[in-house]
């Protein structure tokens, strides 16, 4: 069935719309806008810059959380309700079902990114907002793929969501952790210090450099350029290939 992925994607996106996720996004935008205005009023200087930075950062974190939560909860519900078994009992390949769900989740991520970009155009030029939005979309594509992989691995909402959030936070902060380790106050070259540096380097090597994605500087100081998207897109393609390959392998390995 060549149209099977599109049908699965359609009903996946329809599920998100019926759950009123977009209304939740709009409500959070209103609350976040008010909170950022309040924080900007407290700031002594650069109130507009502070407001745009806080608003953009809160939207980014919320987008990552809501997308990962919906992906995991939706897949768990289908597994518990035997919806996956029902679909796969028909002449539908597991790959078709997998990529259909993935396309539906990515469509939801795209809608959320568009809503975020529209709200941020109040603070930044269109080009900087589009650059920020495309980078956020790449971020959400990786998070979605990792969420599916964690769900197939753990089969529980709590463990899967904790793993996704841990992966995201570590990917965003591993660069800063390395800098802290390299800038220690007490000089030394002990075996334990070298081991920690090697361990941090190994972790940073296997994680995407999400600290280079969706920078607040683009919204605040308008420093972004389109060349920045090249390494971001490259990392996104590499990690999508790895994560989706592992998730698809895990799906074919399962017995329904």
User: CA–CA distance from 65 to each of 60, 88, 90, 152, 166 (Å)?
Assistant: 9, 29, 33, 18, 11
pLDDT tens per residue, range 22-67: 899 999 999 999 999 888 887 777 778 888 899 999 999 999 999 9
pLDDT given for residue 106 in this prediction: 96
Look up the pTM and report it: 0.92
Q: In Å, how far from its chain's centre is CA 186?
A: 37
pLDDT given for residue 118 in this prediction: 94
Give the residue, 231 or 40, on which the prediction is more confident: 231
On average, the pLDDT of the chain sits at 88
Collapse the DSSP code of 229 into the 3-class scheme (helix H, G, I; strand E, B; otherwise coil) and give the result: helix
Q: Is 229 within 8 Å of 131 (Cβ atoms)? A: yes
Helix (H) or strand (E) holding 75: helix 47-80
Give the residue, 217 or 188, on which the prediction is more confident: 217
Is 167's pLDDT higher than 70? yes
Confidence of residue 131 (pLDDT cuts 50, 70, 90): very high
Q: What is the mean pLDDT of residues 143-148?
A: 96
pLDDT tens per residue, range 30-40: 999 999 988 88
Number of structural domains found in the chain: 1
Residue-number span of the structural domain to which 152 is assigned: 4-253
How many Cβ atoms sit within 10 Å of the Cβ of residue 97? 20
Question: Two tokens at 105?
Answer: 């989740």
């Amino acid at each position: 069935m060549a149209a099977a992925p599109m049908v699965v994607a359609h009903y996946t996106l329809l599920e998100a719309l019926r759950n009123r996720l977009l209304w939740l996004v709009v409500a959070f935008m209103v609350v976040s806008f008010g909170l950022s205005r309040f924080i900007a009023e407290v700031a002594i200087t650069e109130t507009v810059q502070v407001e745009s930075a806080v608003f953009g950062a809160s939207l980014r974190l919320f987008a990552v959380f809501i997308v990962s939560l919906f992906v995991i909860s939706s897949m768990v519900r289908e597994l518990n309700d035997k919806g996956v078994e029902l679909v796969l009992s028909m002449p539908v390949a597991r790959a078709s079902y997998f990529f259909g769900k993935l396309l539906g989740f990515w469509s939801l991520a795209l809608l959320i990114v568009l809503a975020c970009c529209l709200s941020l155009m109040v603070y930044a030029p269109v080009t900087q907002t589009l650059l920020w939005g495309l980078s956020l979309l790449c971020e959400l594509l990786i998070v979605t793929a990792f969420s599916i992989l964690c769900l197939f691995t753990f089969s529980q909402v709590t463990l899967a969501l904790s793993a996704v959030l841990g992966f995201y936070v570590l990917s965003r902060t591993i660069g800063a952790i390395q800098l802290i380790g390299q800038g220690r106050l007490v000089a030394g070259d002990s075996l334990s210090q070298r081991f920690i540096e090697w361990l941090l380097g190994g972790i940073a090597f296997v994680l995407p450099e999400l600290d280079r994605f969706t920078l607040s500087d683009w919204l605040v100081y308008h420093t972004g350029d389109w060349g920045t998207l090249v390494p971001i897109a490259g990392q996104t393609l590499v990690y999508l290939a790895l994560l989706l390959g592992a998730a698809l392998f895990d799906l074919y390995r399962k017995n329904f």
